[in-house]
Structures are given as structure tokens and as C-alpha cells.
Amino acid sequence: MKLNKILAQPKKASADVIPTGINSLDKMIGGGLHIGEICTVAARPGMGKTSFVMSVVRNVGVLNKIPTAIMSFEANEEYFVDRLLAAEIGWDTFNFIQDKSEKEFSDDVKTAISIMEDIGFESPEKRRKEYLQQMKEAPVWIEFCTDVIVDEIIGRIERLKKTDDIQVLVIDGIEWLMTGQDNTERELMMLKLAQTAIRLRVAVLLTVDVSRNCEFRACNKRPAMVDVKSCVAIYSSVVLFIYRPEYYLIDKFEDDMPAKNMADLIVAKNHYGEVTFVRVSFFQQARFEDWDNKIEVVEAPMPPFESPIPIYFDNIPF
């Protein structure tokens, strides 16, 4: 198509971009998740990948009622319901409610809770019930996938798209689909996912583990593009890494900021802006949110990347 005809076409509609709800990140990646494209979240196991996608599902599917499907290879449906609830109220409150459900409060405690509610304090139980009602009304589908291939995943999404107009697809643990495959098969699998995102007009959010090479670097433990499988990176328009110094028992970031309950979302590949990172808070190990609820981007240079040896990732297991 000739350039002048392309310029004459209407620009991409805002409906083609779905905000993640983490405003500082959305500013960096063109507004959020893009319809017809893949966004990949990569990190070491236990760094918070599932918490991140549950934060997005909470903001997109539960609060904003945008049809969302979750395909998980790592946990069942009940686990994800618990994660969604914890993403709203935190693990501390979640565990408190679980313990409380096994015993009844005394009349004095009930009276004290009632008085606190009357003067404006919201009890965890009331908040949980309100959010549970929102979850019941949310257009969110969760499937625990075992012994499936990418074609079966695509078939399920096609049915959900036809019946419920799914807008966002989350695949938690894409490396499970890659187990036992060679490089060509992995490339074909990612190509099919990318084509499905375009054909069905869904925004795809993947999680994947990075190699353990980043843990052996001397200067810092931040992951980089060399740590994620090339086929995943090639077909993703945005690649995010999660880095929490707390994970490595490090109490400060490189700029001396305290690392407790904080994380850097590293934008390592970005079709919509610069390669940078944003600093966010990690609420009770359950939800990522804007740092101090501010739309703020950390203006700091990216720490240098260090690789002690040449890395050929496709020959290294996760």
C-alpha cells in the first residue's frame, strides 16, 4: 500500500489497547496490552510472574469487566481464584479470613468490628464479600491445561472468542508447551500463537521462566534478552522482566533505594517506546501496583549487563 494511503487511514483506536492498570508501565508500552500482539513477562521462578498476570487480570477482567481467559500449566482453577482474591486484599488478610472462618469471633470482637465499620473502617470480611461479588460477575474464564498442545489451546480460544468475545488471553507457563520440542517446533508454536492473536483480535500475555545464567553474574542479577528463548522474544512486541532484589536477599537497588516490597519491571523489548524500566510496589507478595500510587517512572540509567561467558540459550534447559 502506498504511503499516502496508509497515512490517510484512521489511527489505531483506543479500543485496540487494553490498559494493564499499572499506569507507569502503560505509559512506557503504548498504553497497555495491544490487541493482536503478544506481551511476554519473564523472570526466575518465584520472582512474581503469576502475581503480575493476576494483577493484570484483576484490573482488566474483574474491575473493568473485559472478557479474559487464563490458560495455566502450573496450577488449577481453585489456586487462581485464591490468587485473584489475594491480589485484591493481600495474603495477610486472605490468611486472616481463612483462619477466622474456622472459628467464630466473640461478641466483644464482633461489637468492636461493628463500631469500626460505623466510623468508616472497612472490615476485611466485608471487603472480601464485595470483591467476591465482583469476581462472580467478572467475564473471566480459567482453565487448568494438562497434556495439551498449542492447537488445542487455539481451539479453546476460538470457541471462547465466538461465544464470549474474549479480548485478553493469559498463558501462564508457556515453557510447558515447549518441553521436548526442538527449535523449529518452538518457532512454529510461537508463530501459531502470534497469528491467532491477529486473526482473533486478542491481546496475548505470556509468562515464561528465564535461564539461571542471570544468577551467576557478578555485577547484578537483572535478567536480559539473552536469558529468554529467542523464539519467544521474536514474536513478542513487548518483553518484560521482573527483578526483585529481595529475592536474592539484597536489601537495596543499585541506586540505594530500599528494595523491600519493591520491584523493577524491565522493558527489554518495546515496539512502542524506549527500552527502560519502571519501579513498582509489590503489595503483600500478591499484587504489583504503581509505586505509592503515583504515575511515576524512575529516571535512572539501566545497570550494565554482564555475561561472564558466551551464552547459547537454546542449548541450556530452563
In this structure, of 23-27, 76-80, 263-267, the range with the lowest mean pLDDT score is: 76-80
Q: Which tops the pLDDT comparison, 71 or 88? A: 71
Confidence of residue 317 (pLDDT cuts 50, 70, 90): very low
Q: What is the pLDDT of residues 114-131, one digit of tens each?
A: 655 555 555 666 777 787
CB count in 10 Å sphere of residue 205: 26
Confidence of residue 103 (pLDDT cuts 50, 70, 90): very low
Q: In whole angstroms, give the CA distance from residue 280 to residue 296.
A: 9
Q: Which tops the pLDDT comparison, 296 or 181? A: 181
Q: In whole angstroms, give the CA distance from residue 289 to residue 66.
A: 19
Q: What is the CATH number of the domain that holds 58?
A: 3.40.50.300
Phi, psi of 205 (to 5 degrees): -120, 115
Arithmetic mean of pLDDT, 152-168? 92
Q: In whole angstroms, give the CA distance from residue 266 to residue 110.
A: 46
Arithmetic mean of pLDDT, 207-221? 84
In a domain, 111, yes or no: no
In a domain, 187, yes or no: yes
Q: What is the pLDDT of residue 191?
A: 94
Give the residue carrying C-alpha cell 474474549: 166
* pLDDT of residue 311 exceeding 70: no
Number of domains into which the chain is organized: 1
Residue 142 neighbours by CB under 8 Å, 6+ apart: 69, 70, 72, 77, 80, 81
Residue 258 neighbours by CB under 8 Å, 6+ apart: 251, 252
In a domain, 225, yes or no: yes
Arithmetic mean of pLDDT, 199-222? 88
Q: What is the pLDDT of residue 87?
A: 81
Q: What is the pLDDT of residues 224-237, one digit of tens each?
A: 898 988 889 999 99
* Residue range of the domain that includes 255: 14-93+132-303
* pLDDT of residue 133 exceeding 70: yes
In a domain, 122, yes or no: no
Whose CA is closest to 244, among 276, 302, 285?
285
Q: What is the pLDDT of residue 118?
A: 59
Confidence of residue 88 (pLDDT cuts 50, 70, 90): confident
Arithmetic mean of pLDDT, 36-51? 93
Whose CA is closest to 286, among 79, 65, 42, 76?
79
Confidence of residue 308 (pLDDT cuts 50, 70, 90): very low
In a domain, 168, yes or no: yes
* pLDDT of residue 218 exceeding 90: no
Q: In whole angstroms, give the CA distance from residue 208 to residue 73.
A: 11
Arithmetic mean of pLDDT, 26-47? 94
Residue 3 neighbours by CB under 8 Å, 6+ apart: none
Q: In whole angstroms, give the CA distance from residue 281 to residue 22.
A: 10
Q: What is the pLDDT of residue 318?
A: 40
Q: What is the pLDDT of residue 72?
A: 86
Arithmetic mean of pLDDT, 85-95? 74
In a domain, 252, yes or no: yes
Task: Evaluate whether 280 touches 262 at the Cβ level (below 8 Å).
Answer: yes
Instruction: Return the half-sphere exposure (C-beta side, CA atoms, 13 A cut-off) of residue 175.
Output: 18
In a domain, 310, yes or no: no
In a domain, 1, yes or no: no
* pLDDT of residue 300 exceeding 60: no
Q: What is the pLDDT of residue 294?
A: 46
What is the overall mean pLDDT for the chain? 81
